[in-house]
Each structure stands twice: as C-alpha cells, then as structure tokens.
Structure 1
Amino acid sequence: MAFPTKVKIVEVGPRDGLQNEKETISAEVKIELVDRLTDAGFINIEAASFVSPKWVPQMATSTEVMAGITRKAGVIYSALTPNMKGFEGALAAKADEVVIFGAASEAFSQKNINCSIAESIERFRDVAQAAKQHNIRLRGSISCSFGCPYQGEVSPESVADVVRRLKDLGCDEIDIADTIGVGTPRHVQKVMERAAKEFPLAQLSGHFHDTYGQALANIYAAMEVGVSTFHSSVAGLGGCPYAKGATGNVSTEDVLYMMNGLGVETGIDLDKVVDAGQFISKHLGRKAVSRAGNAIAAKRAG
C-alpha cells in the first residue's frame, strides 16, 4: 500500500480523554471544547458516552453536551454505547455514529466486563442492528490489540478474530487500539497487516496511547502499511481506568505537527487545536501533555 497523502484524524479528547478526570467538568466546558474542535476542522469528534453514570460519572452530562454543541454539516459526532440503553440515549441525542467495543485479550475482557470476548461482542448484536435500522454509522473498537495488563502479549491472530466478529456485526470502521501503549513499530505493522486480511485497510484506524513514548512512531509505521485514519486526544488527555499506568492517547497537537512536517493533508488547523488544548488544560489546572502544543504556546507567549 502507498504511504497516505491524506489522513483522517478522529478527535477523542472530549470522551476518551475526559472520562477519567476526577473533578467534575461542567457541560458548558465540554461544549466549548467540542465547538473549538469543530471550528479547528475535525470531521469526526468523539463527543459523548452513554454509559451508566455509576461507572463513569464524568459522562453523566452527555445528553446536555450533545444538545448544546454547535454542529457543523459533514462532521460526525460519535458516542460510546455499551448496550441498548446507551444506544437509546445516543439515538435521542442525535449521535451520528455509535461506538461498540471489545478486547483482543481474553483476560482483559474477563476483568473489565466479566465475560469472554465472544460473549462481549455478541451483546452488541442488538445495538448493531438498531444502528443499521436508524442509518447510524457503527464503529467497533478493539482494546488491548498489542498487549494486555493481565496476560501480557496479544497475538495478531487474536486481533484478527475480533475484527472478524465486528465485521460480522456490520461495523463501518474498526479501531485497532493500543490501550496500554506497549506497541512498537514493527509489531504495529504486523497487527495492521493481519487485520487488513479480514477488513478493508481504508476502514481500519489506529488508536495509540503514548505510555512508552511510541505512539508517533507507531502511527508512522501504520501509515507505511497504508493505514490512513488515526485517533488522538487534544492536549494528550486521558488514560484507562482498567490499565494501570496507561497514559492518555497520543496528543492531537503532536500528531498534527508530524503530519504537517510530512506534507500529509489533515484539513485541521494546528493553531486552533493548540488553543483548544491550552483552554482545556487551563480549566483542569495543569499543563497540557502535548509537547508540540506546549512548545507552540510558549513560542507565541515569547
């Protein structure tokens, strides 16, 4: 596959990034963050999660956020939906895409949702059918595709198995996620090449956490085998409550800085993303985790 000249960046900061913050963030702040990201040019923003507030209190404002954002034509506003109740919430909130998820690691699946991988994916069949009936885009996400905090290594074959299951449910796009950030470039290429035997490469995306500082290298490696959709989080927000020590997703500012340097088209305004990153970091009372974002902000402050 040719190295992509254009990539799609899915911004996951408002959902995946903020969901683990301990301090409650108001719906107003989340709305402003999503609006700033829309204005920066993203065509896909993960904005909400319709999960039980008991499990993820930070996402209790999702209905309010989806109602308050200024939508732009052609932009996909996604919501995580773990079950039919979540799907109904997403449908009422007019989500353009619902996200279902499974793990490539049997141990992670058991610890995280108390059931096998096969059972966990089967539980989403109703959600998948409902999404199709309502013409809502369906995205599947596979966590622990490169390693697991409980079982260690995860084989490319295990990832391929979950890709097949999600394809069977009718997913339009499938995320290959490095939840704990242990992947390295060659490993990433092997997994992506194996996944591409089960599902069109153009509809696979890379979701890399930067725990071991490998995320940018992993994105570049995935691009070398033709992957052209990646997830990132403004200001490097996030982590995983079930994966000890896992840092946030790779920061959007760092990804955009690299893409700009490669001459790869994203359609996104880096300066506006830096502003959004500084805005949310200031609100959280800490420095952004993005190196490029902080460097650009410091240069501006002169």
Structure 2
Amino acid sequence: MRLPKQVKIVEVGPRDGLQNEKTLISADDKLALIEQLANAGVNYIESGSFVSPKWVPQMATSSEVFEKLNRINNVTYAALTPNMKGFEAAMAVNASEVAIFGAASESFSQKNINCSIDESLARFEPIMLAAKKANINVRGYVSCVVGCPYEGHIEPEKVADVAEKLFNMGCYEISLGDTIGVGTAASVKTMIDTVSQRIPIEKLAVHFHDTYGQALTNIYTALQSGIMVVDSAIAGLGGCPYAKGASGNVATEDVLYLLNGLGIKTGINIEKLLEAGWFISDKLDKKPVSKVSNAYRAQILK
C-alpha cells in the first residue's frame, strides 16, 4: 500500500464546525476549545471566520477570539476571509494565515454567493496581492468536488480547473471538499487523480463530510493516492445544510483513530483530543458525532 508516514490534520471545528451549530458558543469557550486542541498536539486550527455576523452569527466573536488567543509556537491559527474587508479584519488581530474558497459547481456558486465561479475567484485577487505583500500564506478551498446539491455529479475536470486557478493565484495548498458528503472511494480516487495531474499531490488536502458514512473510507482512498493533509472537526461538529438531519464534518477523533491504526504519525494525543471533544459537546448539550469518542466514553463510564 502506498501510504504516507505522516499526516497533518487541519482542525476546522472552531470555524467550519461551530458555524453550523445553532447553540451560540461564547468567545471564552471557543478559546478554551482551541487551547485544548493545541495542547493535544493539533498544530493547525481554523480558529474563526471574518464574515458578516448577520449571515453567520456564530462567528461574530472571531476578532475577540484571535485577540485573546494564548498562542503556542508552531501552531497555525487560521481564519476564513471571504473578501478584502474580512482579510483586513484578520490581519488586524494577527491571524497566522487565511483561507479563501471557490466552488466546482456553477449552480452552487450562483445560489450561494450570487456570482459565477470566475467572478468569485476574481474577488480574491486583492486578497492574494495583500497577502503576498504582508507575507501571509493563503489556503484555498474548493467546494462540491464530487457532487452538488443542485447539479448532482461534478466532473473531475471542473474541480481541476478551479483548483488550478486557485493554485496559480498563489494558494499554497488546495483543500478539496466533498460539501454534501456524497463521495465514494471510486469517485474520490478519480477526482484526486485528475486534479493531481495539474497540481502536485503534496499541495492537495481533502475535506470530507460524513453524510453517507463514507468519510473515513474516502480519507483512506485519498491517503493511498498520496494525500498527506486531512481536514476534520473535533466531535464531528457541524451539520450538513444540504441534507436535513445528516452529519457534517468527519470527526477528528475518528480520523486520528484511523491514522493511528495505520501507523501514520500526526503528533496528536488521542486522550487529550477526546477531552477537547467532550468539552465542546457538553457546551453544545449534545453527544459527539464521533463513534470513537462515544466508544471511549462508554468504556470510562462502565
């Protein structure tokens, strides 16, 4: 098997996970979660998003979170910045780096941000110029890489087109997101093979939702294809807005259990990670989506 010896986990729970949770979490609790994740050995944490609080109320405290962070050396505290105003706000509170996003589906782009794919990418050009001037890394996301809630199947070439444009704009890494979680091992392999013909495999990451229970299988397939960076959310935070009642992001605990079982190094302590997941789940008054987390907790409570 062609598997990497080491994998970087990009923790998206404090941003992508919490933004879909209805229960509002205070800045102090977000800070406690981020600190627990960092102490567990997670070295990349997407800590907030600089978007309009009107549209994403959960992210209204992002400036406060970044201002109060107890930063640990070698930990990246990243922010999502959809426009220049967001980028400037992220820079004002010393975000380590920023992320921008495009979609592989024209319908998704039009219905969500009211513009075409090319128009959406053009909006990021000022951010890329400013980031380069400030020596700030920019990560790129591509949504709907295997399926779209409006168009259905997405051709891999479309994904490759958008990913290549983001990469050529200056994004150092492109995260390929299965936004509605419809991917299978076969569709994921085909998509990664196609994209990696245009972008070096070491510059690609994967971001799977677990709507149909295929996220871990798809991650394993991605690892076999040479992927070495995996996005995930502590406790499986976040719902899937396009599939009612479905789970969202794959749980970091489950990903770590998979990687540990394969002998792949991450530098993350699973016991401390589980504590972080239980902490935020208790704040949300819900059980973790993570099967690994629930299994561990059941053993403790025996």
* Shorter-chain TM band: over 0.9
Contact 2:247 2:289 survives alignment (8 Å): no
CA offsets 1:193-230 (integer angstroms, 9 cap, x no match): 11111211111000000000000000000011100100
> Do the aligned partners of 1:147 and 1:180 also contact (CA within 8 Å) in 2?
yes
Q: Corresponding residue for 1:12?
A: 12
SS in 1 for 2:100: strand
Instruction: Describe the SS at the equivalent of 1:18.
Output: helix
TM superposition shift of 1:247: 2.4
Q: What does residue range 176-187 of structure 1 map to in structure 2 within 5 Å?
A: 176-187=176-187
**Contact 1:20/1:238 (<8 A) preserved:** yes
When structure 1 is superposed on structure 2, of 58-67 and 237-246 the one drifting more is 237-246
C-alpha distance 131-245 of structure 1, shift in aligned 2 (>3 A): farther
Instruction: Give how far 1:20 is off.
Output: 1.5
CA-to-aligned-CA distance 1:139-186 (integer Å, 9 cap, x gap): 000010010000000000000010111012100010000000000011
Question: Which residue of structure 2 lines up, in the alignment, with residue 282 of structure 1?
Answer: 282
Q: Which residue of 2 aligns with 1:299?
A: 299
Report the AA paired with residue 108 of structure 2: F
Give the Cα–Cα distance (whole angstroms) in 2 for the partners of residues 245 and 120 of structure 1: 29
Task: Kindly indicate whether the alpha-carbon contact (under 8 Å) linking 1:179 and 1:246 is maintained by their aligned counterparts in 2.
Answer: no
Normalising by structure 2, report the TM-score. 0.98
Aligned to 2:135: 135
Aligned-pair Cα RMSD in Å: 1.2
Decide whether the 8 Å contact of 1:112 with 1:242 is kept in 2: no
Cα drift, residue 240 of structure 1: 4.1
Q: What's the CA shift string for 1:32-72, capped at 9, x where partnerless?
A: 00000000101110001000111101100001111122111
Q: Which runs of 5+ in 1 are unaligned?
A: none
How many residue pairs are counted as aligned between the two chains? 302
Give distance in 2, aligned partners of 1:15 and 1:277. Answer: 14
| Helix, strand or coil at the partner of 1:42 | coil
Decide whether the 8 Å contact of 2:21 with 2:239 is kept in 1: no
Runs of 4+ in structure 1 over 2 Å off: 239-247
1:198 aligns with 2:198: yes
Contact residue 181 and residue 246 of structure 1 kept, 8 A: no
Partner of 2:52: 52
Q: Give the SS at the match of 2:61.
A: helix
Match of 2:90 in 1: 90
For structure 2, which runs of at least 5 residues remain unmatched after alignment? Answer: none
| Residue 261 of structure 1: aligned partner | 261
1:19 partner SS: helix
- Percent sequence identity over aligned pairs: 58
8 Å contact from structure 1 (residues 148, 180) kept in 2: yes
State the match for 1:247 in structure 2. Answer: 247
Q: CA deviation at 1:239?
A: 2.6
Q: In 1, are the aligned partners of 2:21 and 2:237 still within 8 Å (CA)?
A: no
